[in-house]
């Protein structure tokens, strides 16, 4: 009858469901809609499929969520004094980490270490080391197959790995050499950064982490570094050292003089650039290599990130001093005097 009242053509068959009036306008029956050739309305959405979802358990481990939150709200500010670089660590690095779990684990490790410092609570310390070791294992696999798709995450992971070593060694007396006499593991991270940069410079320079790769030259560098290094170069040249070893010393001095003009990144850049031959001399506790290395500690004192570097420069100087005989210790005296002024 509704159809007749509104002068609508109808076959008078029984509709599948009674017409519903929700407003002043009548709703046509299903038969009319089909006769008009219009698509029938979609059936009401059923939420029964969601009934299989289980609620989160009450004992879910939220540690990783807390650590990621802490990294993006607090830890990132300790990684640089520059706002642009802080933004890279807060935004771009986490985005890379979601598709590269080794970076995510390294972020957890650094964040946990930072929490231990800020709260004086060692609760997160074992977990920090656990995540750090896991990040090293998985990143080594990626490093063996470095590509444009993973080089950015590998670079960030190596940089954070070095920062973790800085923080984990904060209260350790010897930071240059491990207990077995070998070079400490942080040198591996620095060299890892070098490997990544050399193999993927173009991709890194055009990627989201490019601000981390660029720095501006300082004004004049650290006072006395260049002069003292030139004097020491003259000293070893007159010491009758074999040509091959002498070349390694002079090459390292030349690089250190260059990077002394960029004090904020000078120490890390120099450690990346020195030859494997010089690093091997340092590993053997070669006295001349140690004196040259000691001069780089002045750059470290000025370096970033200051929060994590702490007393590293002074600790390294003291460690080198103990490795040297008295005649060579005199070359370090001005360094100790200088660090006391900083």
Three-state SS annotation for 230-244: HHHHHHHHCCCCCHH
Neighbour-count burial of 291, counting CB atoms closer than 10 A to its CB (0-12 exposed, 13-18 middle, 19+ buried):
buried
DSSP conformational letter for 169:
T
Query: What totals of helices (H) and strands (E) does the chain contain, helices first?
Result: 18, 0
CA distance 174 to 315: 7
Can you give the pTM of this predicted structure?
A: 0.77
Residue 262's pLDDT is 85
**Length of the chain, in residues:** 342
Residue 340's pLDDT is 62
> pLDDT tens, position by position, for the chain (342 residues)?
555 455 555 555 555 554 444 444 444 444 433 444 444 444 444 444 444 555 555 656 789 999 999 999 999 999 999 999 999 999 999 999 999 999 999 999 999 999 999 998 888 999 999 999 999 999 999 999 999 999 999 999 999 999 999 999 877 778 999 888 899 989 888 888 888 999 999 999 999 999 998 865 544 567 788 999 999 999 999 999 999 999 999 999 999 999 988 878 889 999 999 999 999 999 999 999 999 999 999 889 888 899 999 889 989 999 999 999 999 999 998 888 776 644
Residue 16's pLDDT is 52
Task: For 178, list phi and psi in degrees, rounded to 5.
Answer: -80, 175
Residue 12's pLDDT is 52
Query: Are 158 and 194 contacting, i.e. CB atoms less than 8 angstroms apart?
Result: no
The upper half-sphere exposure of residue 211, i.e. CA atoms within 13 Å in the direction of its Cβ, equals 13
Task: For 177, list phi and psi in degrees, rounded to 5.
Answer: -120, 140
Query: Are 166 and 186 contacting, i.e. CB atoms less than 8 angstroms apart?
Result: yes
Residue 35's pLDDT is 44
Residue 48's pLDDT is 44
Query: Are 108 and 68 contacting, i.e. CB atoms less than 8 angstroms apart?
Result: yes
Query: Are 322 and 175 contacting, i.e. CB atoms less than 8 angstroms apart?
Result: no
Query: Are 256 and 270 contacting, i.e. CB atoms less than 8 angstroms apart?
Result: yes
Neighbours of 214 (CB within 10 A): 10
Residue 254's pLDDT is 96
> Which three-class secondary structure state does DSSP give residue 183?
strand
Residue 11's pLDDT is 55
């Amino acid at each position: 009858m509704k159809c007749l009242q509104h002068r609508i053509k109808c076959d008078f068959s029984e509709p599948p469901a009674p017409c519903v009036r929700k407003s002043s306008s009548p709703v046509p029956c299903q038969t009319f809609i089909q006769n008009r050739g219009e698509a029938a309305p979609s059936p009401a959405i059923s939420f029964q499929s969601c009934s299989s979802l289980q609620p989160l358990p009450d004992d879910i481990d939220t540690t990783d969520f807390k650590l990621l939150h802490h990294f993006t709200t607090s830890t990132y500010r300790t990684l640089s004094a520059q706002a642009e670089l802080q933004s890279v660590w807060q935004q771009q690095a986490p985005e890379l980490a979601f598709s590269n779990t080794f970076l995510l684990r390294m972020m957890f490790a650094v964040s946990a270490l930072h929490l231990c410092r800020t709260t004086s609570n060692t609760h997160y310390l074992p977990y920090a080391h656990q995540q750090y070791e896991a990040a090293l294992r998985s990143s080594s696999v990626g490093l063996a197959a470095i590509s444009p798709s993973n080089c950015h995450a590998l670079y960030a992971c190596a940089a954070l790995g070095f920062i973790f070593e800085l923080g984990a060694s904060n209260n350790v007396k010897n930071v240059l050499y491990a207990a077995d006499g070998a070079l400490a593991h942080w040198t591996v991270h620095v060299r890892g950064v070098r490997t990544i940069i050399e193999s993927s410079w173009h991709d890194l320079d055009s990627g989201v982490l490019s601000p981390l790769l660029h720095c501006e030259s300082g004004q004049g560098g650290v006072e006395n570094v260049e002069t003292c290094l030139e004097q020491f170069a003259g000293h070893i040249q007159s010491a009758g050292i074999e040509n091959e070893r002498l070349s390694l010393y002079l090459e390292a001095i030349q690089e250190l003089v260059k990077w002394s003009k960029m004090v904020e990144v000078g120490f890390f850049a120099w450690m990346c650039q020195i030859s494997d031959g010089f690093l091997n001399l340092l590993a053997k506790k070669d006295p001349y290599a140690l004196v040259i290395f000691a001069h780089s500690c002045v750059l470290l004192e000025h370096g970033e990130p200051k929060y994590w570097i702490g007393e590293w420069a002074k600790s390294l100087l003291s460690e080198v001093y103990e490795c040297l005989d008295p005649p060579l210790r005199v070359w370090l005296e001005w360094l100790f005097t200088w660090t006391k002024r900083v």
